A and B are shown apart, each in its own frame.
Chain A
């Protein structure tokens, strides 16, 4: 590869790289370190750079204080809402790619999706809250799965639309000539072909759902149904913040993501290179 950037060979390159890594990783290091310090060490006027008396006390408190429940809630809501969005989004995107609906409906639908994607979700919060409380879906994890569709469904339709669009038509034609039904074509031909795209879409959807805070805060009342972001905020909100426990929960929230990145890194970078956020 012909190099057209000369900085790599300059002595400043490694220094610059180290600097970037320190800036990026220090806060993450700080999360871990803080979670291992004793409560007293965490409120010293001069913070210590590493735990002088490392302890797992914070993790103990957090795990027995119900955070495992929060973690499971988060995992459940994230998985369920992603699956739901993927199925609905895949079918809808396929219809939009392969069929021209009357009255320019395809364009109208996609423009609406973009507007929803751009809209601050708080705008929809009040009417949704009224609707959901009438349907007794407040304080219910399934209600949360449903409400997450506001974020994940437009996302999934939009991304899968892009992936399906790039699919050549020949496979489907051949299958049709061979006498496959439309449903068989979708299930046996199209679905396997866009698998990578589906995985990439799932990754984004999972990240969004894992991170969701606003609707969870408004729609969940009881502590045992809280998701992780809510649990984290409840620790910040208290008069005297328990930094150690706060960071222990944060570590709990990070671990699944790290494991996840480890496995999906390849798909993720290719998805980002498509820029279909």
Chain B
């Protein structure tokens, strides 16, 4: 079904995103432009009432909890005893001096950026190599995107069997060809990278699809012109293709960073944060503090630090959106 993929050319990728925050010119004037007062009020009422259900759910499920977390982060609150007392910045000082939290934060950053880097790199290379038509392309693409359709738990469990120290296939192969067995999930220096490997296996297909769509949205004429002008493949890649795809690559990086920063299920299933704290991530830390040690103050403070990191990361994204609104 290569035609499906090519149809993305009709819907260029970036202009859509950039338009996100512009309004239709008529937005403020109503559909007909008639402005009787009763009609305006009826219109406001209509739009408020269709927005309201989603608004209530969002306020109730996200804003209210966020405020609670914010307030709790300044309290010493134990869920079991039910005692609460205000301790100001105590939790934050406590957390920021906690080696486990610092390790988990470092791990999350390392995991987040290395998976994103590898996935975007591999995805781009694959998209470049498999550009254009060849026999069996649509079947190939469907097979290639299977990993990202599987649920994380399925992916984690099969890799857990493959990674198994004694009976796993990877170690069997290694010892067969005369190398030493690797403690994929039990060696503190390697465990985090094993999880990175699993994520790269699962999500490179996503990067591949997005980059492929981006490549297909470049008009052929651009390449034809460069060929006529005698540009070599390398020149075309570095001077034309990649610069055109720059925004798309950035967006892809952003999507993957957001997603990998949240990592929980994969680590939970593969290593549970171990060995020691070698694969502890911030999500896991927050979870443990809250639901195993019932230290809600500390858990909330860790949550707020995570939120700050998320907002910091998203500033780039938000600024881009807000800029294009003014433009």
B299 within 8 A of A: yes
Q: Contact size class for B?
A: 35 or more
Neighbour of A269 across the interface among B4, B43, B325, CB < 8 A? B4
B264 touches A88 (CB 8 A): no
A236 touches B43 (CB 8 A): no
A98 touches B69 (CB 8 A): no
Q: Which residues of chain B are near A149, meaning CB under 8 Å?
A: 57, 61
Nearest B residue to A265 by beta-carbon distance?
Answer: B142
By the criterion of a CB under 8 Å from any partner CB, how many residues of chain A are at the interface?
113
With A28-B146, A111-B318, A166-B16 as given contacts, are A210 and B126 in contact (CB-CB < 8 Å)? no
Neighbour of A88 across the interface among B54, B168, B282, B286, CB < 8 A? B54
B283 touches A120 (CB 8 A): yes
A interface secondary structure, majority: helix
B78 within 8 A of A: no
Neighbour of A122 across the interface among B24, B54, B153, B287, CB < 8 A? B287
Distance to closest chain A CB from B321 (angstroms):
8
Distance to closest chain A CB from B194 (angstroms):
13
Q: Which residues of chain A are near B168, meaning CB under 8 Å?
A: 47
Neighbour of A176 across the interface among B16, B32, B55, CB < 8 A? B32
Q: Which residues of chain A are near B72, meaning CB under 8 Å?
A: 126-127
**Taking beta carbons and an 8 Å cutoff, which residues of A are in contact with B?**
1-8, 13, 16-17, 20-21, 23-25, 27-28, 30-31, 34, 42-47, 88-89, 91-92, 94-101, 106-107, 109-128, 131, 146-147, 149-150, 153-154, 157, 161-162, 165-166, 169, 172-173, 176-177, 182, 186, 207, 210-211, 213-214, 218, 228-229, 232-233, 235-236, 241, 243, 246-247, 250, 253-254, 257-258, 260-261, 265-266, 269-270, 272-277
What are 24 A-B residue pairs whose CB atoms fall within 8 Å in the complex? A20-B126, A21-B144, A24-B146, A91-B54, A100-B23, A118-B258, A120-B286, A121-B262, A147-B61, A149-B61, A157-B54, A172-B31, A173-B31, A232-B157, A236-B157, A246-B157, A247-B158, A250-B153, A250-B154, A253-B151, A253-B154, A260-B149, A270-B4, A275-B251
